Amino acid sequence: MSEEKQNLPEGQSRVYVLFYSFFLIPLMITVFGVMFFIIVKFLTFENTDPNEYLTQIKIGSASKRWQSAYELSKILSDPGKVPVDNQFRDRMLAAYEQSLHDDAKVRMYLALAMGRTGDEHYGVSLMNGLQDESLANRIATVQSLGLLQYEPAIEKLIQLVKSSEAQEMRLAATVALGQIGNDSSTKVLRILLEDEEPNIRWDAAIALAKMGDDSGAEIIEGLLDRQYYKNFNEIDDWETEKAIMVAIQISSQLKDVRFADDLKVLAQNDPNMKIRDAALKTLEKVYNMELNNG
C-alpha cells in the first residue's frame, strides 16, 4: 500500500480502496474495452460499396483483386444493392474485359457478379466469355447467362449440352436452359432425361417441370424418395436433403397426384424436420390434403 494511503485515517483509506475497486478500475476497463472494440471494428470493417470493389479490382494487388471480385459477386446477390446506373455498368464491363489477362479467378467472379445483377446489359460480354480458355470461367459464364435468363444464349447452351466433353459444363448448361425457360429448349431437355449422368437427368427433369412440362415426373418421384439416393455413394446426407427440398419445391410447381404419396411419406417419417415441414405444407397448400395422425 502506498505511503499516501498509509497516512490516511482508516475510514478514508477504506473509501480510497472502494473508489478504486468499484469505480475507477471498472471505468478504466470499460474505456479500454470500448477502445479495443472500436479498433477491431475499424480493422475488420468490410466495405459494402460495389463501386469501391470495382476500384480495388482495378488498382489492388493480385490477391486483393480476386478477393474484391469475390466480395462483389456476393454483395450483388442482394437485388437491393445492385447499382443500376450506366456508369457502374460501364465500369463493370471494363473490369471484365481487362480481366482477360488477369488472374482467372478475377474474371470468374466478375462473370458471376454480372449474372447476379439480373441485368441483361451484360449478356453480350458474357457470351464472349464462352470463348475463354479456363473451363471454370466458361462454366461461371454459363451459370450467369442462366441467371440473366438471356435468351440469345439458348442456341449456344444447347450446343454445349450436346457436344461438351466436360460433364460440369453440360450440367451448367442444362440448369441454365431451365432458368431461361424458353420452349425452344424443351426437345433437348427431354432427350437429357435419358442421359447417363444422373445430375443431368435430374436437372433436366427439374428444368422441364419449371416450364410446366411433366415429362420428367417419374424422375422427380425418385428425387422425393430418400431411399433412392442410397444408389449413389458419392452423395452425402447434406446433398440428399438439399435435393429433396428442391424436389418438394418442384412438386408444388408441377402439381401432380403422383407426388402426393411420396410427400406423405416425407411429411410423416423423414428424419429431417425441415423436410417434414416443407412436405406437409406442400400437401396442405398445393394438394389440399391433410395428414391423419390419429
Residue 35: pLDDT above 80? no
pLDDT on residue 1: 46
Listed residues 149, 184, 219: the one ending a domain: 184
Grid coordinates in use for 217? 415426373
Nearest to 279 by CA among 261, 293, 257, 254: 261
pLDDT digits (tens, 9 = 90+) for 127-164: 999 999 999 999 999 999 999 999 999 999 999 999 99
Same domain, 163 and 204: no
Q: Which pLDDT belongs to residue 33?
A: 58
Closest CA to 64 of 75, 56, 72: 56
* Predicted local distance difference test score (pLDDT) of residue 27: 53
Same domain, 59 and 169: yes
Per residue, the 3-state secondary structure of the chain, as one string, reads: CCHHHHCCCHHHHHHHHHHHHHHHHHHHHHHHHHHHHHHHHHHCCCCCCHHHHHHHHHHCCHHHHHHHHHHHHHHCCCHHHCCCCHHHHHHHHHHHHHHHHCCHHHHHHHHHHHHHHCCHHHHHHHHHHCCCCCHHHHHHHHHHHHHHCCHHHHHHHHHHHHHCCCHHHHHHHHHHHHHHCCHHHHHHHHHHCCCCCHHHHHHHHHHHHHCCCCCCHHHHHHHCCHHHHHHCCCCCHHHHHHHHHHHHHHHHHCCCHHHHHHHHHHHHHCCCHHHHHHHHHHHHHCCCCCCCCC
- Confidence class for position 294, pLDDT limits 50, 70, 90: very low
Residue with the bigger pLDDT between 287 and 44: it is 287
- Round the average pLDDT of the chain to a whole number and report it: 87
* Grid cell of 138 as nine digits: 466458361
Residue numbers of the domain that contains 22:
12-43
**pLDDT reported for residue 10:** 52
1 falls within a domain: no
pLDDT in tens, 191-223: 999 999 999 999 999 999 999 999 999 999 999
Contact 280, 291 (CB under 8 A): yes
Task: Enter the C-alpha cell of residue 63.
Answer: 490477391
Q: Are residues 173 and 238 in the same domain?
A: no
Question: What would the mean pLDDT of 54-76 be, rounded to a whole number?
Answer: 93
Tell me which residue has cell 449456344: 156
CATH number at residue 138: 1.25.10.10
Task: Identify the band that residue 42 occupies on the pLDDT scale cut at 50, 70 and 90.
Answer: very low
Domain count, the chain: 3
For residue 7, is it within any domain? Answer: no
Q: Are residues 261 and 284 in the same domain?
A: yes
